[in-house]
Homo-oligomer: A and B are copies of this chain.
Amino acid sequence: MNDHVYKKIELVGSSPKGIEDAVANALTRASKTIRNMRWFEITETRGHLEDGKIAHWQVTVSVGFTLDA
């Protein structure tokens, strides 16, 4: 892992179910075009409300992946 270079991108995943599912949705979408994702970090956890209830969670994640040499 010595001289690898990584790029970090910021995504927002949403889900009516909860935080983990919103993160998973963001990563599933990202994995369509990005290979070699290695780690993520949650930077913000928000949600949208309708009629006094949580309509969906919106979780911002910073995702790191290896750049090919």
A residues sitting closer than 8 Å to B (CB atoms) are 1-16, 18-20, 23-31, 35, 37-42, 44-49, 52-57, 60, 62-64, 67, 69
Contacts and interface: CB of A to CB of B under 8 A. Distances in A.
21 contacts: A2-B16, A3-B15, A3-B25, A4-B14, A5-B13, A5-B30, A6-B14, A8-B11, A9-B10, A11-B67, A12-B64, A18-B20, A19-B19, A20-B54, A23-B54, A29-B69, A37-B49, A37-B52, A38-B49, A41-B46, A41-B47
A31 B2 contact: no
B8 A12 contact: yes
Given A37-B52, A38-B48, A47-B40, A5 B14 contact: yes
